[in-house]
């Protein structure tokens, strides 16, 4: 058993063997200065700024033998798994400095070097925002007996929030690490955290990296 002290004074308690650190989409297309977001003119400083926090979470999880699972958003080269509304936005598959945006196998689809998975850590490739959509994640968690998720990554209002909602509906106990998530627009990050806290903490717990690391190492 380990405990994490959360922002609102509550305590997130979990058994290490049934807990996974879920690292969402720490990919070059989102975080690299030559990736999709930057190439489209976005300021990626807030996204790249959470890399050290995610590094710390990974180190603590690995040291404590907590399950680590990574996700990547990406699509087939022929775009057969891109639904029409997403295709109409015109981003996926567009050529860029790191290859076609969000296409599996292209350099931009890959993880940033500092956050590469270790051997044996599962990678869930997802053709959408939520990590449960058309993936093996649900089965993977069931096989490992996982009931509690510690979630970090990018972007807060999109892939992190989509995954959190999917996990909540499936009955997982979820902790979002606030300063290890980010959005391009800080207001979107803040608004998402407010929604998680809404209606009596509707979508679980929120804590900061320092407290999660202390819990993982001290439990």
Q: In the chain, which ranges are continuous DSSP H helix?
A: 28-31, 36-39, 45-48, 51-63, 84-89, 137-143, 161-169, 186-201, 209-218
Q: Exposed (0-12), middle (13-18) or buried (19+): which is 19, by Cβ within 10 Å?
A: buried
Cβ–Cβ < 8 Å for 179, 160: no
Any catalytic annotation for residue 32?
A: no
How far is residue 209's CA from residue 136's CA, in Å, rounded to a whole number?
A: 27
Q: Of 109, 106, 104, 141, give the one whose Cα is nearest residue 122.
A: 141
Q: Which of 6, 25, 152, 179 is catalytic?
A: 25
Q: Which of 6, 29, 37, 126 is catalytic?
A: 126
Q: For residue 38, give both structure tokens.
A: 């930057």
Cβ–Cβ < 8 Å for 74, 64: no
Q: Of 171, 52, 26, give the one whose Cα is nearest residue 109.
A: 26
How far is residue 93's CA from residue 87's CA, in Å, rounded to a whole number?
A: 9
Q: Indicate the SS3 state at residue 66.
A: coil
Q: Which of 37, 158, 159, 174 is catalytic?
A: 159
Any catalytic annotation for residue 86?
A: no
Q: For residue 128, give both structure tokens.
A: 């959408």
Any catalytic annotation for residue 113?
A: no
Query: What residues are labeled active site?
Result: 25, 126, 159
């Amino acid at each position: 058993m380990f405990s994490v002290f959360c922002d609102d004074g509550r305590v997130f308690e979990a058994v290490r063997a049934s807990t996974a650190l879920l690292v969402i989409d720490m990919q070059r297309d989102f975080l690299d200065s030559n990736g999709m977001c930057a190439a489209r003119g976005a300021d990626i400083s807030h996204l790249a700024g959470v890399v050290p926090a995610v590094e710390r979470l990974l180190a603590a999880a690995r040291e404590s033998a907590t399950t680590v699972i990574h996700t990547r958003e990406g699509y087939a080269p022929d775009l057969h798994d891109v639904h029409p509304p997403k295709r109409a936005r015109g981003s996926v598959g567009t050529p860029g400095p790191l290859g076609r945006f969000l296409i599996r196998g292209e350099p931009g689809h890959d993880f940033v070097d500092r956050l590469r998975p270790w051997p044996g850590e599962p990678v869930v490739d997802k053709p959408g925002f939520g990590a449960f959509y058309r993936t093996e994640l649900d089965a993977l968690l069931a096989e490992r007996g996982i009931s509690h998720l510690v979630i970090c990554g990018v972007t807060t209002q999109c892939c992190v929030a989509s995954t959190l909602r999917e996990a909540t509906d499936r009955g997982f106990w979820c902790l979002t690490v606030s300063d290890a998530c980010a959005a391009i627009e800080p207001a979107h990050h803040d608004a998402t955290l407010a929604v998680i806290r809404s209606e009596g903490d509707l979508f679980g717990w929120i804590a900061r990296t320092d407290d999660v690391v202390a819990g993982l190492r001290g439990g």
